[in-house]
Copies of this chain bind each other. A is one copy, B any other.
């Protein structure tokens, strides 16, 4: 998730969320759904994941309009074993489904130390990192993996044909200080990041892609050619089998367990999700866990930086600093994003433009 739209005028986060909520309600969402979706998009912006923030709102509204995201209906419970549950979401809004799942997991973890949940076919859940902190704040370790089986942009290692996609996975690790909030794709970069280079007509800074023959490429346009290129796996030509392994893990957990995968060639727009929360109290104890994670974080931060480099940062550290700064100072948005939201406001008869 790379930077887009960071150079415009500063906006008030609360006002932006309010506008987003009104637009989502006008498009057909319940106020509860709109609340969750707006909050998660805004949270992604606050953390600095601008490709997954309110710049996605027009796309979300468009998906509602053509019925690709459902605003009515309820979650289907496929299985419920107390410490585990499996839902099918039938394209209901991802952020709303995810927040319900997290409330459920947090309620159950008081009775079972490990809660494991899967969600089949829910609409886009956005930036995984946006969901982690409320869980790590409870002293819990969290794993969150997702992918969209209707999307293929990454080849298996050694292949030249798209089968997988960026398949992100996130881990939240509590410490006595700030949590470690890991969130990254198992390809070198996300689909959104490549799309941003394509939109700007730029080459990628390195060979982040493979062309249709499987040769390294820095041309985002190769994704749209015939045969299509692919995004390189984490590890590249030499160690991409490791990115492949992690990618397969994400597929098995989020699509295999949820039962909604690539076998039926589903249309784009429905994600499978794997969510697991672990309470360290059931193992060597919360105190021992926090002692170890805190010592680890401190040792990493105290580690001598590479020659001429900045101090070592932990995953999530910059995101949490972004969040604090953006809440205090406001969030910058490009004119393009603001205009697009204003267009939608006009179209949906919502007074508040930007």
Residues of A in contact with B (beta carbons under 8 Å apart)? 78-79, 81, 83-84, 86, 88, 112-114, 116, 118, 120, 141, 155-161, 163, 171, 173, 180, 182-186, 188, 206, 210, 213-215, 227, 234-236, 238-239, 241-246, 248-249, 251-253, 255-263, 276, 278, 280, 282-285, 288-289, 291-296, 299-300, 303-307, 309-315
Q: A78-B283, A86-B282, A171-B252 are in contact. Are A303 and B257 (CB under 8 A)?
A: no
Closest 5 CB pairs of A and B: A214-B306, A259-B284, A259-B288, A261-B292, A263-B295
Q: Report A178 CB to chain B, min CB distance, Å.
A: 13
Given contacts A239-B188, A257-B283, A282-B84, contact A262 B157 (CB under 8 A): no
Instruction: Give the distance to chain B from A274, nearest Cβ to Cβ, in Å.
Output: 9
Bound Cα distance A112, B114 (Å): 11
| CA of A163 to CA of B299, assembled, Å | 7
Q: A182 vs B242: C-alpha distance in the bound complex, in angstroms? A: 8
Question: In this complex, what residue of B is CB-closest to A280?
Answer: B257
A-B contact pairs, 5 of them (CB 8 A): A155-B303, A158-B310, A214-B306, A257-B283, A262-B296
Contact A160 B306 (CB under 8 A): yes
* CB <8 Å contact, A184 and B245: yes
Q: Within 8 Å CB of A120, what residues of B?
A: 284
Contacts of A299 in B (CB 8 A): 163, 262
Assess whether A278 is in contact with B158, with CB atoms less than 8 Å apart: no
Residues of chain B within 8 A (CB-CB) of A188 are 235, 238-239
Which residue of chain B has its CB nearest to the CB of A185? B242
Residues of B within 8 A of A285 (CB): 78-79, 259
